[in-house]
Amino acid sequence: MGVVTCIEDLRHLARRRLPRMFYDYVDTGSWTESTYRANRHDLAALRLRQRVLVDIQHRNLRSAMLGEPVTMPVALAPTGLTGMLHADGEILAAQAAEAFGVPFTLSTMSICSIEDVASHTGRPFWFQLYMLRDRDFMARLIERARAARCSALVLTVDLQIMGQRHKDLKNGLSAPPRPTLANWLNLATRPAWCWRMLNTRRRSFGNIVGHAAGVTDTASLAAWNARQFDPTLSWQDVAWVKQRWQGRLVLKGIMDVADARLAAAAGVDALIVSNHGGRQLDGAPSSISVLADIVDAVGHQVEVHMDGGITSGQDVLKALATGARGVYIGRAFLYGLAARGRQGVLDSLAIIHKELDTTMALCGITDVAALDRSVLLRQGRLPAAAGPGPA
């Protein structure tokens, strides 16, 4: 492929360079994938107001998320197994985010550990926490995030049980992966990926192996991981995390106004409207379709962020105009990472930044803080009536 001009170009490159099981892991949803598709469809359905004869010479995309200055209000979402898409993937993605001036969020289920990422970056990053049954391990993990100078904790609340992802099951993708014969054969067609993975020591779950009690290798990790999903997770656990963390706390996975109000009452600093990229409850609405109601309900109390289906700067603009104070990209930067490593992540951010800037200009907007619902043409219930945008 020649010149890369959009995230779709990076996706095609990633598909050619990744082993099938890891490409399918990124580019999949649960069950029938209806929610996965809805995230993209509902963003695409929103139409923009084109304005002309407006002085758009000087434009500003700089903003803040959780009080931290950002080049644009976009963060890299927490994504598990990132270090299997490219050797040392989390370190490379964090370095790219730091260079570009946007937040990076490290997943509990990362390949590179918190300490690894901290030792290879200069800017504090955010850490995403899954609440598991082993509360002693949870407490130590929170302390490790604090020791690594993480500036925010992102607690994911929509994974009490795992949504069924058919492609992952067929590929034998688990923690740790158990690839099928077909996938072993497919690995032979990806020599560059294999070479990079052979030349790194980071091939397991760095936050868990050697840290959780009794987990010393991949075999013991599989047994430990199978016991860790906690269906008893409740708002009391949010209070437990908040008391131990004593820093900025974000809840990821809010899709309902009632839950958003409970999150605000719990005293969190921000919430992320997210359906886990369509990877949990298939048949749930798209993130963008519920964003306006949640912003209207609690946007004056907490920062409301959003993820789900964001693959362009226009998508970012639509989410910000609907009321989000920040937007997260997952697959978009993962495609770049798989295609070109650190440079690919920078490419994905540059693409989104340029598209956001250009779209703002054509809508007659010169400052990202001025985006509100007046930029969007109403179609059905998407979005709701004009209301407050990002402050």
Please work out, in degrees rounded to the nearest 5, the angle formed at the alpha carbon of residue 166 by the alpha carbons of 162 and 172.
Answer: 85
**Arithmetic mean of pLDDT, 200-213:** 93
Q: What's the pTM?
A: 0.94
Q: Residue 367's domain spans which residues? A: 7-377
Q: Identify the CATH number of the domain in which residue 359 sits.
A: 3.20.20.70
**Is 276 known to be catalytic?**
yes
State residue 379's pLDDT score.
57
Measure the CA–CA gap between 97 and 349, rounded to whole angstroms: 8
Residues linked to residue 172 through DSSP beta bridges, in sequence order: none
Measure the CA–CA gap between 329 and 334, rounded to whole angstroms: 9
103 within a domain of the structure (yes/no)? yes
Q: Which residue in the list 86, 276, 305, 353 is annotated as catalytic?
A: 276
383 within a domain of the structure (yes/no)? no
170 within a domain of the structure (yes/no)? yes
Q: Are the C-beta atoms of 190 and 19 separated by less than 8 Å?
A: yes
State residue 1's pLDDT score.
65
DSSP-assigned letters across all residues of 37-96: HHHHHHHHH-EE----S---SS-B--EEETTEEESSSEEEPP-TTHHHHSTTHHHHHHHH
96 within a domain of the structure (yes/no)? yes
389 within a domain of the structure (yes/no)? no
- Two structure tokens written together for 121: 């970056």
Residues linked to residue 329 through DSSP beta bridges, in sequence order: 76
Say if residue 176 is exposed, middle or buried (CB neighbours under 10 Å; 0-12, 13-18, 19+): middle
Measure the CA–CA gap between 66 and 287, rounded to whole angstroms: 20
384 within a domain of the structure (yes/no)? no
At residue 388 the predicted structure's pLDDT band, cuts being 50, 70 and 90, is very low
Count of domains in the chain? 1
Q: Which pLDDT tens digit goes with each residue over 305-334?
A: 999 999 999 999 999 999 999 999 999 999
State residue 223's pLDDT score.
78
**Arithmetic mean of pLDDT, 158-170:** 88
Q: Which pLDDT tens digit goes with each residue over 245-296?
A: 999 999 999 999 999 999 999 999 999 999 999 999 999 999 999 999 999 9
In the chain, where do the E strands start and end? 47-48, 63-65, 68-70, 74-76, 105-106, 126-130, 152-156, 249-254, 270-273, 303-306, 326-329, 376-377
186 within a domain of the structure (yes/no)? yes
390 within a domain of the structure (yes/no)? no
